[in-house]
Amino acid sequence: MALIITDECINCDVCEPACPNQAIHAGTRIYEIDPERCTECVGHFAEPQCQVICPVACIPLDPQRVETRAQLQAKFERLQAPVQEPAANGLKPVP
């Protein structure tokens, strides 16, 4: 499951830098989590760092985004893959 930030968010700014996937960003009212980038820190840490650091515990699992640990691991691997760009002789990683 991806995580979600609820309306209890106090915009304290501690969760955004804690996310290793850059899935957290400032929304119009509160911080938001991009579910396409959230792996619940699978591949990085044993537990979601935003949940650990949040002083008001406003980051639960998102029931609309049910994912298995294997799916979260696959998402982590996709996010870590080097970006490819077309080249004259095929594909090459972008530094």
74 lies in which domain range?
15-93
Q: Tens of pLDDT along 1-19?
A: 789 999 999 999 999 999 9
Answer whether 0.85 is exceeded by the pTM. no
Let me know if residue 47 belongs to a domain: yes
Let me know if residue 1 belongs to a domain: no
Q: Tens of pLDDT along 53-79?
A: 999 999 999 999 999 999 999 999 999
Let me know if residue 2 belongs to a domain: no
Q: Tens of pLDDT along 16-50?
A: 999 999 999 999 999 999 999 999 999 999 999 99
Write the CA distances from 35 to 5, 40, 52, 86, integer angstroms.
11, 10, 18, 28
Read off the CATH number of the domain in which 53 is found. Answer: 3.30.70.20
pLDDT for 1 equals 74
Count: domains in the chain: 1
